[in-house]
A = this chain, B = another copy of it.
Amino acid sequence: MIKNINTKKYNIKEIQNLVNKDLLQVNQIIEKNIGRKVPLIKNLSNHIFSAGGKRIRPLITLLTANLCKYKGNKHIALAACVELIHTATLLHDDVIDESKLRRGIPTANDVFGNKSSILVGDFLFSLAFELMVKNNSNPVLQILSKTSSTIAQGEVMQLSTIKNYKTSEYIYMKIIEAKTASLFSAASEISALISKSNKKAQNALKNYGKNLGIAFQLVDDALDYNGTSNMGKAIGDDFREGKITLPIIICISKANDKEKIFWKKTIESLKQNKSDFHKALQIIEKYNAVNLTLERAKKYSSKAIESLNIFSNSKVKSALESLAIIAIDRDK
């Protein structure tokens, strides 16, 4: 299904190495700014940043800036801003979802408490704005500020659909576009702006990021029902919270009467006993819902790769293509 891979496929380490110097600078900017004054901010931020993560979003900014032959250094601070916005939303997400595990270690809210996570999230978010205002043009600021409010709207929409058995695929897609894909899209599009690329390149990068982001979230949502994955997260969280994602939407759309009762009880009323998650997995297996979700993710990954067609072949283009594959194949 995935076409257009015309150069060597890189793994995440190789991609990071391609922009290693830039990535180090991104980390330095973040480190320098979070350690400014307040020990609790420093400790909590270090906890979440040092847990790693692939830095996919800042990588997108660094690689696309390179793809656009950008010669300045604005992409560094912008990549840091993108990662700060992302981390701020992670902190708040984990409070909202009452998550205990992230990237294989206890969540910040689990270690430092919800209150600290909320306030440090607010700080990281403000810091992102402070940094991006320092050196950037209004069009860049417009995209990133609009993206932030889009993310928040997506998060609120998601909260509104929790336990809503009737959540449609359409609404689900709107939510993941807003809460996840918008930041991927912005991370990519801003490179076209700072490098003064043409409108065609800007749209191509916008679409690359958007489709990659959708693919990424679809895989995330699929893996929450995949017992064999090891993403450093607890599986079954979405089910336990009554969060409606594509695997469940697929099952509900195909459910027989008995299954409808099951989903209403477990999702709508959130009445779950110990064996219910196992039962949910069986139904998901019956309708192939995890694989169908992953197939859908593959489609968006292909779209992301196709978006790059207007750019001539290069190492960096291959790296961006590889990122789109890594998004749907997290072990690579």
Interface check A159, CB cutoff 8 A: yes
Q: Output the nearest chain B residue to A146 by Cβ-Cβ distance.
A: B130
Interfacial chain B residues near A129, Cβ < 8 Å: 129, 145, 148-149
The SS class assigned to the A binding surface is helix
Within 8 A of B (CB), among A157-188: 157, 159-160
What is the interface size of chain A, counting residues whose CB is below 8 A from a CB of the partner? 40
Among the listed B92, B125, B138, which residue makes an inter-chain contact with A119, where contact means beta carbons less than 8 Å apart? B92
Within 8 A of B (CB), among A107-143: 115-116, 118-120, 122-123, 125-127, 129-130, 132-134, 138, 141-142
Interface check A38, CB cutoff 8 A: yes
A17 to B133, CA, bound (A): 35
Chain B nearest CB, measured from A289 CB (Å) = 26
Chain B nearest CB, measured from A178 CB (Å) = 9
Interface centre among A38, A127, A160 (most CB of B within 10 A): A38
Interface check A95, CB cutoff 8 A: yes
Once the chains bind, are B156 and A38 in contact (CB under 8 Å)? yes
- Footprint of B on A, CB under 8 Å? 36-41, 89, 92, 95-96, 115-116, 118-120, 122-123, 125-127, 129-130, 132-134, 138, 141-142, 145-146, 148-149, 151-153, 155-157, 159-160
